[in-house]
């Protein structure tokens, strides 16, 4: 018997499967290295991404004498296929997905991962290595077995593996020859209504059909369609459909750069990030996610009353997400700490009110919606506008969540303006001229002051704060949300100054000032995409396209992006997959693509 193959070093060359209830990350050798249960922000039952080596937990299909692998998504779906080949030419294919399809008048999205293994060529020998851990890797489950299932029982919940593979081999890790198709359904501790193989085949067929029909309805640009479809599916999988929350990423504690300590938990719903997700999917005519998100957002607003609204919440509307460190976990590539929770729930980030209004605005104008917004929703949204007016011009932590410094951030003031501007437009659409005038007056006053007080004569640019002189990429949003016309010389001058100061080739950093951890070492992907948008708006489309192609080139082999890119190596860093970054792919393609009428 040959020796076991060494596990690959953790990387972000991962595929994501999910069904808007749970998700999992699969590496290039068909090993599930990350999966939280029973929801996105739950216990990582598979944690090898953050706990490499024998101490970690994973679900691996190990091909003996492994030689090579290739991996791809079934086109226009969230169904992932990995083909493994050994040194003797034997070949095996692993199909991974989480079931999602419409059945019994609802979306069927169980807490279940399905793995289908079939020999493609020869007689491949495999080992099934399934190790579940609970309580952030501290607790081994009690394992019980049946004729065709294995139960992994913990104190909070139990997982059941239903399989038509030999249970004895699954439990022992003994190698065996894959002479036929084998199916593995890991999920809730429930028996199946039908046979294991029949259930797996039915779920695959229906899940593929669901995603293909979902993608078919997207309004795509002419160019870069595959990149846009992959980004859109990834964003959809980031929706926790039960409540309508949208998570910023599926992981925690992937450092923003090597050994930087910038390790954060992103498995929660930031109102800012969620707005950008909704806006990107809306641009593709996928408005269902917006309607789901507005359910969650409405509950956030109702629960807050007229008080402070946090920049983020748990996906079940949790207010408190106390931040702690998991000391026994090594971290990604041994680069801890591993954090659970996020202290940013305690921050005052004044752009949040504008993000709420922006996220809800289309619902007042779009006639396609099942639940269009009206006067009652506008009344609630006006309370958010009042808060935007109240906090305007006050110091805060800013959108980058600085933990030790407060200023009157231009980006926060900009979003207060956006709240008032959009409320004025909504009031006009609802036939409420007095309210429209009220909000337009506030918007005009804010616009005048922002353009005056954030301008730095010394830098010939809009600065990151009122009266400041340091540059910040978030100021580029001035044109995107409509505060300033892109042709304004001051905006062009700002873009020029940022390119000289914040850019490393095609990539763009967030800001130039040192923060709590020093100066950022990696570029922040969404900032690069903001630059692309600004270039396109200012007539520099050719350069924008070049930078966009550079960003597409640093996606992982499956078309996914994390939060950050190292300018020198092109390596991905930061939590994964980052919704902000996938939003950028959609926005850039929609902005830069040639129109359809050039070819049809």
Closest CA to 25 of 572, 587, 584, 553: 572
Residue 405: predicted pLDDT = 67
Judge whether residue 203 has pLDDT over 60.
yes
Q: How crowded is residue 430: how many other Cβ atoms within 10 Å of its Cβ?
A: 16
Judge whether residue 104 has pLDDT over 80.
yes
**Token pair 């739950």 in the structure block, residue:** 42
Average pLDDT over residues 545-561: 97
Judge whether residue 3 has pLDDT over 70.
no
CATH code for residues 232-593: 1.50.10.10
C-alpha–C-alpha distance, residues 268 and 345, integer Å = 10
Residue 317 DSSP SS3: coil
Residue 65 CA to its chain's centroid (Å): 35
Average pLDDT over residues 370-388: 93
C-alpha–C-alpha distance, residues 247 and 241, integer Å = 11
Average pLDDT over residues 80-109: 96
Average pLDDT over residues 549-576: 96
The CA–CA distances, whole Å, from 405 to 409, 467, 513, 566 equal 11, 15, 11, 26
**396-435: pLDDT as tens digits:** 888 876 656 678 999 999 999 999 999 999 999 999 999 9
Take residue 298 and report the two structure tokens written for it: 């409405």
The answer to whether the Cα torsion of 322, 326, 327, 333 is positive or negative is negative
Q: How crowded is residue 97: how many other Cβ atoms within 10 Å of its Cβ?
A: 27
Average pLDDT over residues 21-38: 97
Residue 348: predicted pLDDT = 86
Look over the chain and give the mean of its residue pLDDT values, rounded to a whole number: 94
Residue 130 DSSP SS3: strand
Residue 362: predicted pLDDT = 94
Judge whether residue 4 has pLDDT over 80.
no
Residue 43 DSSP SS3: strand
Judge whether residue 1 has pLDDT over 50.
no
Average pLDDT over residues 497-518: 86
Model confidence at 515, in pLDDT bands (50, 70, 90)?
low
Residues whose CB falls within 8 Å of the CB of residue 569, separated by 6 or more in sequence, listed in order: none
Q: How crowded is residue 179: how many other Cβ atoms within 10 Å of its Cβ?
A: 9
Residue 399 CA to its chain's centroid (Å): 17
C-alpha–C-alpha distance, residues 400 and 65, integer Å = 47
Residue 328: predicted pLDDT = 95
Phi, psi of 10 (to 5 degrees): -55, 140
Average pLDDT over residues 513-533: 84
Model confidence at 42, in pLDDT bands (50, 70, 90)?
very high
Residue 105: predicted pLDDT = 86
Judge whether residue 310 has pLDDT over 60.
yes
Of the candidate ranges 213-217, 294-298, 542-546, the one whose mean pLDDT is the lowest? 294-298
Average pLDDT over residues 43-54: 95
Take residue 254 and report the two structure tokens written for it: 């992937």
Can you give the residue ranges of every domain in the chain? 14-194, 232-593
Average pLDDT over residues 194-223: 98
Residue 2: predicted pLDDT = 39
Phi, psi of 113 (to 5 degrees): -110, 135
**pLDDT higher at 10 or 106:** 106
The answer to whether the Cα torsion of 199, 203, 204, 205 is positive or negative is positive
Mapping DSSP onto H, E and C, the string for 183-240 reads EEEEEECCCCCCCHHHHHHHHHHHHHHHHHHHHHCCCCCCCCHHHHHHHHHHHHHCEE
Q: What is the separation, in whole angstroms, between the first and last Cα of the chain? A: 60
Of the candidate ranges 376-385, 401-410, 569-578, the one whose mean pLDDT is the lowest? 401-410
Angle at 157 between CA 152 and CA 163, to 5 degrees: 35
**433-454: pLDDT as tens digits:** 999 999 999 999 999 999 999 9
Closest CA to 454 of 432, 469, 439: 469
């Amino acid at each position: 018997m040959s020796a076991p193959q060494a596990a690959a070093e953790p990387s972000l060359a991962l595929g994501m499967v999910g069904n808007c209830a749970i998700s999992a990350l699969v590496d290039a050798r068909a090993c599930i290295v990350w999966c939280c249960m029973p929801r996105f922000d739950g216990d990582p039952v598979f944690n090898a991404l953050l706990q490499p080596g024998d101490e970690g937990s994973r679900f691996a299909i190990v091909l003996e004498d492994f030689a090579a692998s290739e991996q791809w998504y079934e086109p226009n779906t969230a169904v992932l296929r990995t083909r493994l080949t050994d040194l003797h030419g034997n070949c095996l294919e692993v199909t991974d997905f989480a079931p999602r399809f419409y059945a019994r008048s609802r979306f069927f999205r169980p807490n279940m991962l399905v793995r289908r293994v079939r020999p493609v060529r020869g007689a491949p020998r495999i080992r099934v290595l399934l190790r579940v851990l609970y309580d952030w890797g501290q607790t081994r489950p009690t394992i019980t077995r049946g004729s065709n299932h294995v139960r992994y029982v913990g104190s909070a919940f139990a997982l059941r593996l239903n399989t038509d593979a030999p249970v004895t081999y699954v439990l022992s890790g003994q190698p065996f020859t894959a002479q036929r198709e084998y199916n593995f359904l890991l999920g809730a501790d429930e028996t199946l209504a039908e046979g294991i193989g029949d259930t797996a085949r039915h779920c695959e067929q229906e899940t593929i059909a669901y995603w293909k029909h979902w993608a078919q309805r997207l309004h795509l640009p002419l160019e870069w369609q595959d990149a846009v479809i992959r980004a859109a599916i990834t964003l959809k999988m980031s929706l926790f459909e039960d409540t309508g929350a949208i998570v910023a990423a599926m992981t925690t504690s992937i450092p923003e750069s090597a050994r930087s300590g910038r390790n954060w938990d992103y498995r929660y719903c930031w109102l800012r990030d969620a707005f950008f997700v909704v806006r990107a999917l809306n641009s593709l005519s996928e408005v269902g996610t917006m309607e789901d998100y507005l359910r969650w957002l409405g509950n956030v607003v109702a629960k807050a009353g007229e008080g402070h609204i946090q920049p983020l919440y748990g996906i079940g509307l949790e207010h408190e997400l106390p931040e702690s460190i998991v000391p026994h976990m090594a971290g990604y590539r041994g680069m801890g700490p591993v954090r659970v929770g996020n202290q940013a729930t305690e921050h005052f980030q004044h752009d949040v009110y504008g993000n709420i209004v922006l996220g809800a605005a289309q619902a007042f104008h779009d006639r396609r919606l099942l639940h269009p917004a009206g006067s009652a929703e506008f009344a609630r949204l006006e309370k958010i506008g009042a808060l935007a007016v109240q906090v305007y011009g006050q110091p805060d932590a800013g959108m980058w969540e600085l933990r030790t410094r407060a200023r009157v951030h231009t980006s926060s003031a900009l979003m207060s303006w956006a709240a008032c501007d959009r409320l004025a437009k909504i009031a006009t659409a609802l036939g409420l001229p007095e309210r429209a005038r009220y909000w337009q007056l506030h918007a005009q006053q804010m616009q005048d002051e922002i353009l005056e007080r954030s301008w730095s004569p010394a830098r010939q640019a809009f600065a990151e704060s009122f009266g400041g002189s340091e540059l910040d990429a978030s100021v580029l949003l001035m044109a995107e949300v409509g505060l300033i016309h892109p042709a304004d010389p001051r905006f062009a001058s700002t873009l020029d100054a940022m390119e000289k100061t914040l850019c490393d080739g095609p990539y763009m950093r967030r800001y130039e000032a040192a923060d709590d951890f020093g100066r950022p070492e990696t570029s922040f992907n969404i900032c690069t995409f903001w630059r692309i948008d600004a270039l396109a708006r200012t007539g520099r489309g050719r350069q924008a396209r070049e930078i966009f192609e550079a960003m597409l080139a640093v996606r992982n082999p499956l078309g996914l992006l994390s939060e950050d890119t190292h300018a020198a190596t092109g390596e991905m860093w930061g939590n994964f997959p980052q919704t902000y970054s996938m939003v950028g792919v959609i926005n850039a393609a929609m902005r830069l693509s040639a129109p359809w009428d050039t070819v049809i």
